[in-house]
A and B are shown apart, each in its own frame.
Chain A
Amino acid sequence: MRGLLFLLSALAVIGTGYWAYHENYRTQDELDRVDALRRDIGEARERLAILRAEWAYLNRPDRLKELADMNYSRLGLMPLRPDQFGSVRDVIRPVPEIPLEVSEPIDVISTGATQP
């Protein structure tokens, strides 16, 4: 009986030891992964900053103006002027189709009309 108890406790010690080491290694792996991700994030952020700087550089007003001037014949781009503001009323809207059948004309009389 005692021997069995010893054996079981020894097995338990080995088991928990194995489990603890296993967890430890897994934690270390995860931490390594976190470190790698952090490094990636840092690199991505750096790249993002450079791309943003490049975007700003390529979109600088002076360059856009030069490009618009160079491609004037094709694009016809001009600085925004006050007369380019339109009104919603000026928008030409599609005329709704009339679903009436007009193939058979009917006579319209104004007998009952009240207005002159």
Chain B
Amino acid sequence: MMRTPLRPLARILEARQKGENPDAIEKENRRLRHEQMRDRTRLQSEGRLLVLGVMFFCAFGVIGARMGAIAATEPVEPRAASTGASIVASRADIVDRRGRVLATNMDTHSLYAHPQQMIEPDRTAKELGKIFPDMDVEAMARRFNDPKKKFMWVRKKLSPEQMQAVHDIGEPGLLFGPREMRLYPNGAIAAHVLGGAGFGREGVHSAEVIGTAGIEKFFDEELRNPAREGAPLELSLDLSVQAASEDVLYAGMKLLNAKGAASVLMDVHTGEVISIVSLPDFDPNDRPNPLVEGNPSDSPLFNRAVQGVYELGSTFKIFAAAQAMDLGLVNPNTVIDTRPPMKVGGHQIGEFKKKNYGQISVSEIIIKSSNRGTGKMALAIGPKRQQEFLRSLGFFDPTPAEIVEAKGGKPLLPKRWTDLSAVTISYGHGISTTPLHLAAGYAAIANGGIAVKPTLLKQNGAQDGPRVMSEQVAAASRLMLRQVVTEGTASFGEVPGYHVGGKTGTADKPKERGGGYYDDKVIATFATLFPAHDPKYVLIVTLDEPVETSGEKPRRTAGWTAVPVAAEMIGRVAPLLGLRPEYNTGQLESVVRIKQ
């Protein structure tokens, strides 16, 4: 850079000649130089300010633009943040106790139409009619041609073959939406427990699957909860045992011309229901509509084992005997006079076929099934204590089974619990309960006196319920039940190796319109526990209006109907449960010998 000297010699000399002060020149030059420096610095500063301004503008601009962009766009999940667990949106599976699938989901498609996009509505309707024979072709064509219609459902669910056939029509106005449907691969097996599922809120792209009955409805929220991460719901049922039970019960029902049948197989310690059958049944994949008229209990949807309240007859006698023993009123050998007459509250108490058993012990009362004998024990117990005992066994409330229908199985109890009620209830009349209630009651005798609550979910261990009778009383009761099979009314119930104990019950059916009982319609029940010396399971078999016609006269008692069916069922089911038959223990030979 050219620097101007502060004191240029030429000008200084000139000034000296003129007699001027040369310092003024220097001052002048210094001033000029400072002015130049100032201008340069200003320019530089202004430039810097400009750059800074631009920078700030850009920075704020970027921030503003980013904020705008974030606010205006759809939210996106951060891609990098991996939680590891994936959200499973579909409804959880239901599996049996060994993990076999009872209910699962299938991806399928729904079919809907946009009539305004249709090119050949008439041909489309005709082609659709070929694929779906149950479809009304004319009505469909009319709706396709309606200019006001913008959208309509054609089918809720399509099979892959049907979908391909619809594709092949080549109509752009027919559209598919994805659908998840509930599939019950085992068909009618355990239908009453599973219930069924249908669609809730429906959209084009998805539809809610909601439970409509059974355990699907009871655990609807739970099954739909994404936090389960698809963990299946484990039931206490065993698929193969359930299938075998249904098989045997169905054969028995047909053979004995019964209108319906029910069975409950329950683990006596855990309260787990291993199989629960109600016949006739239905296919939950194609759940029938409820009856609009007539008796709802005639519908296959009706769950006889859980909803059906019946007078279960003499099977109740063991409760009276057990309570009387527990209270110390009697022991198995106490002799009770069962001779007529016995009149309570103005009513004669009779025996089956007007028999007279004479003076017999408590054991024999159970073995021979004497009404008057148990009635006398009930009178000794008294209505109040009887009520308390039956309440502790769960006979007063609907069973806590985890299906929505269980609430409907509320026992029918007498309004006023008189002495007469106590007597009739001691032999199972005047109280209507479900077979599941009876299973829970027998489980308490079988497991040594602990009340259990029946459950349909897999349990980890024995239930810790309240004690309702002493262990000795439970053991004595089991001995009586075993004797019923070895020498009493349930002689057909013997299954070699399994030491079955049980009590039969044959109750006349009450007339629907009231006014007494039918003569020729009964509910035959056999309540069993096996093996009797160390019971693991209780089994209740109930047949509705069975009749055995191999003899001269039709036979309807449980000993001829429910007992053989139960024996066959135990023979089929016990090996499946892994119970090894034992041929040498618990045969009660000594007891048999005393009888001789």
Residues of A within 8 A of B (CB): 27, 31, 34-35, 38, 41-42, 45-46, 49-50, 52-53, 55-57, 59-62, 65, 79-85
Closest to A46 in B: B107
Cβ contact within 8 Å between B581 and A83 = yes
Cβ contact within 8 Å between B187 and A62 = yes
Task: Show 14 A/B contacts (Cβ-Cβ < 8 Å), sorted by A.
Answer: A31-B79, A31-B80, A49-B106, A52-B101, A53-B105, A56-B101, A57-B185, A61-B244, A80-B572, A80-B575, A82-B496, A84-B575, A85-B575, A85-B580
A43 to chain B, nearest CB (A): 11
Cβ contact within 8 Å between B581 and A62 = no
Measured between beta carbons, the chain B residues less than 8 angstroms from A84 are 575
Beyond A31-B80, A49-B105, A53-B101, whether A82 also contacts B183 by CB under 8 A is no
Cβ contact within 8 Å between A50 and B79 = no
Cβ contact within 8 Å between A82 and B79 = no
Measured between beta carbons, the chain B residues less than 8 angstroms from A50 are 106-107
> In the complex, how many residue pairs between chain A and chain B have their CB atoms under 8 Å apart?
71
Cross-chain contact of A81 among B90, B185, B575 (Cβ < 8 A):
B575
Closest to B239 in A: A61
Bound together, the chains give a CA A61 to CA B189 distance in angstroms of: 9
Mask of B75-108 contacts with A, CB within 8 angstroms, 1/0: 0000110100010101000000000110011110
Number of interface residues, chain B, beta carbon within 8 A: 33
Cross-chain contact of B571 among A60, A62, A65, A82 (Cβ < 8 A):
A82
Cβ contact within 8 Å between B101 and A82 = no
Measured between beta carbons, the chain B residues less than 8 angstroms from A41 are 86
Q: B226 interface residue, CB < 8 Å from A?
A: no
Closest 5 CB pairs of A and B: A61-B243, A56-B185, A56-B101, A57-B185, A82-B581
Q: B413 interface residue, CB < 8 Å from A?
A: no
Bound together, the chains give a CA A59 to CA B239 distance in angstroms of: 11
Bound together, the chains give a CA A68 to CA B186 distance in angstroms of: 17
Cβ contact within 8 Å between B495 and A56 = no
Cβ contact within 8 Å between B80 and A60 = no
Tell me which of A35, A49, A55, A81 has the highest count of chain B C-beta atoms within 10 A of its own C-beta: A49
Interface residues of B in 431-480 (CB under 8 A from A): none
Cross-chain contact of A53 among B79, B185, B239 (Cβ < 8 A):
B185
Bound together, the chains give a CA A52 to CA B95 distance in angstroms of: 12
Cβ contact within 8 Å between A85 and B581 = yes
Beyond A56-B100, A60-B185, A61-B239, whether A79 also contacts B572 by CB under 8 A is yes
Q: B498 interface residue, CB < 8 Å from A?
A: yes
Cβ contact within 8 Å between A56 and B496 = no
Cβ contact within 8 Å between A34 and B185 = no
B299 to chain A, nearest CB (A): 22
Beyond A46-B107, A53-B101, whether A61 also contacts B240 by CB under 8 A is yes
